[in-house]
Amino acid sequence: MSDFIVINKKINPFKKKILVSGDKSISIRWVLFSSLSNGISTAKNLLISEDVIAAINAIKKLGIKVKINNGVCKIFGKGMNGYNYKKNLTINAQNSGTLGRLLAGLLINTPYKIKIIGDKSLSSRDFKRISEPLSKFGAKFSLKKEKYLPLTIQGGSNLKAINYKEKRGSAQCKSSVIFGGMRSNGITKITAKKSRNHTEVLCKYLKLPIKINNKKNYDEIKVNKVKFIKPLKNYNIPSDISSSAFFIVLTALSNNSELIIKNVNVNSSRIGIITILKKMGIKIKFQNLRTYKGEKISDIKVKSPKFIKPVNCPSSLNSGAIDEFLIIFLVAAKANGISYFKKLSELNQKESPRLKWGKYILEKMGIKTITTEDSIKIFGNPGLKVNKNITIKNYLKDHRVFMTSVIAALVFGGNWKLHDKSSINTSFPNFLKIIDQIKK
Ligand code: S3P
């Protein structure tokens, strides 16, 4: 079957209400925490995408029963020490950095060797960033070229708490060490640059022995050994702001359009895109804001603006928008001036080197950019119209490169051939169906 789509028609003005699928970060964490809990956890609106299915397959391999029926996922947790598996287990984290890195923390007490592998994209990503701190607990790791998957964990039995400074603003590194701390004797002390805090929110909701002290630019986290986790029952996973981002930008770049996205997770550590787009003059409102099991949820209303302002994006917003920069760059392409995004080296550590891909897509559309190793200047053109053939094929099959290109094709025109349609299955299998709903 062909794995590309062709788009050669701009989208008409629309006024719609949509619901996007469950949050990927929360879904993976719900699966992992449930696998460690004492009893049956249940969730609705769990994201059923390849990354989350990889998490479910991982805990199944560790001896945990999982059932999915009528949109409800049930996980039969057996407690902190309930994993049961044979020697020489291999777990495939596929495309998911979150799964691979969090699992490594969770498995530091394994009595047998466990190998973690991944797809081509994940195998090109840095795993030393977690093996280094995790080995200080007393577990042994071996990695390809000391940095890459396959990674083998030989757990320790007498694990001791560590002190760890997380300087990148990586929630995956922070969470991996939190899991390590939950398995170790003593108090693990983490000083972490701000990043998404879903792991901490779940720990607090579950009343686990973890203390968090939020400072202005960083967080202090103290983790004690965890003996018991109650099941996460009746958990309704909120919708993903990173998936919503594509439609927020579709509306921002369309004419006379309006969109409401229901039930979106608007955790303050995830809404960098909203702050950045508001600075650029996009009209965005939160409606019906509420708190659910420690997470903030809201409906998001977006209207297309009359014109778009350029932004000099403060780097303090980077971590809260880290998965959204490709799509934000499209907004900068239509701004009335030069936008500047800096200190973005982490963007080249994602499923593909996204700073480079951002530049590539913009230049194909005829937008001038100046990039360094970690920054991009985008010379916006409010009258931008694309009148040519553009082909996008990302050799690492990055889902966000594909979805960003679809939005570009729908708002700027031209004749686009977009490869690797199936990459959406990683995070957002419904993406093209929702595009069709909006078009109708
Ligand atoms: C994630 C953290 C982010 C993000 C990724 C999901 C998570 O990665 O890019 O898509 O669920 O913890 P880093 O923590 O490496 O920045």
Residues 239-270: pLDDT tens digits?
999 999 999 999 999 999 999 999 999 999 99
Q: Which of 29, 315, 322 to mutate to test the pocket of ligand 1 (most atoms within 8 A of CB)?
A: 322
For a mutational test of ligand 1's pocket, the pick from 52, 98, 315, i.e. the residue with the most ligand atoms closer than 8 A to its C-beta, is 98
Contacts for 117 with CB less than 8 Å, ≥ 6 apart: 90, 91, 92, 93, 123, 149, 150
Query: What is the number of other CB atoms lying within 10 angstroms of the CB of residue 230?
Result: 14
Nearest to 192 by CA among 133, 266, 263: 133
Q: Which of 100, 231, 115, 121 is nearest to 175 (CA)?
A: 100
CA of residue 192 to ligand 1 center, whole Å: 14
Catalytic residues: 323
Q: To test ligand 1's pocket by mutation, which of 25, 172, 319, 324 has the most ligand atoms within 8 angstroms of CB?
A: 172
Nearest C-alpha to atom 15 of ligand 1 is from which residue? 170
| pLDDT for position 89 | 98
Q: Is the pLDDT of residue 1 over 90?
A: no
Specify burial of residue 348 (Cβ count, 10 A radius: 0-12, 13-18, 19+): middle
Distance CA 290, CA 288 (A): 6
Q: Which residues pair with 165 in a beta bridge?
A: 191
pLDDT of residue 157: 84
The predicted structure's pLDDT at residue 291: 98
Looking at the CA of residue 102, tell me the nearest atom of ligand 1.
12
Phi-psi region of 80 (alpha: psi -120 to 50; beta: other; left: phi over 0): alpha
Calculated CA dihedral for residues 299, 303, 309, 314, nearest 10 degrees: 0
CA atoms within 13 A on the CB side of 426: 27
Q: Please tell me the distance between residue 323's alpha carbon and the centre of ligand 1 in angstroms.
A: 8
Check pLDDT > 90 for residue 279.
Answer: yes
Mean pLDDT for all residues in the chain: 97
Percent of the chain with pLDDT over 90: 98
Confidence of residue 318 (pLDDT cuts 50, 70, 90): very high
What is the token pair recorded at 7?
């788009």
Kind of pairing between the strands at 210-214 and 114-117: unpaired
Place of tokens 């595009």: 435
β pairing state of 235-236 and 38-44: parallel
Length of the chain in residues, anyone?
440
Q: So what's the pLDDT on residue 71?
A: 95
Which 3 state secondary structure label does DSSP give 246?
A: helix
Helix or strand run (H / E) with residue 303: strand 295-303
Residue 175 pLDDT exceeds 90:
yes
Residue where the block lists tokens 């590309």:
4
The span from the CA of 194 to the CA of 368, in Å, is 32
Residue 105 predicted with pLDDT over 80: yes
Ligand 1 midpoint to CA 333 (Å): 25
Which residue's alpha carbon is nearest to atom 4 within ligand 1? 323
Find where tokens 């939005």 sit.
Answer: 407
From the CA of 25, give the closest atom in ligand 1.
11
Instruction: For residue 15, report the distance from its CA to the centre of ligand 1, in Å.
Output: 32
b/e for 305-338, b at 16 or more Cβ within 10 A?
Answer: beebbbbebeeebbbbbbbbbbbbbbbbbbbeeb
